[in-house]
Amino acid sequence: MKSPVSENVSVTRLGLRAAMGAMAMFLVGCTAEPLPEIEIGLRNPTVPLGGTSRFEAGRFAGDWQTVRCLGECERSVTYQVATDGVFLRRAGDTLTAYSVPAPGILREMGGDSTLVVMWVDEGFRTAAVGDADGRWAAVLGRSRKTAPDRVKAATEILDFNGWDIAKMQVVK
Domain boundaries, the chain: 1-37, 57-170
| Phi, psi at 148, each rounded to 5° | -55, -35
Quote the pLDDT of residue 154. Answer: 98
User: Across residues 62-87, what is the average pLDDT?
Assistant: 94
Rounded mean pLDDT of 150-159? 98
CB neighbourhood size of 156 (10 A): 13
Instruction: Name the helix (H) or strand (E) containing 79.
Output: strand 76-83
Start-to-end Cα distance in the chain? 92
Q: Please give the residue that has the higher pLDDT: either 3 or 68.
A: 68
What span, in angstroms and rounded, lies between the C-alpha atoms of 132 and 45?
9
Mean pLDDT over the full length of the chain: 86
**How do residues 80-125 score in pLDDT, each as one tens digit?**
999 878 999 999 999 999 999 999 999 999 999 999 999 999 999 9
* Among the four given CATH numbers 1.10.287.1080, 2.40.128.20, 2.40.10.10, 2.40.30.130, the one describing domain 57-170: 2.40.128.20
For residue 155, what are the CA distances in angstroms to 56, 68, 98, 112, 135?
Answer: 21, 8, 25, 26, 16
Query: At residue 159, does pLDDT exceed 80?
Result: yes
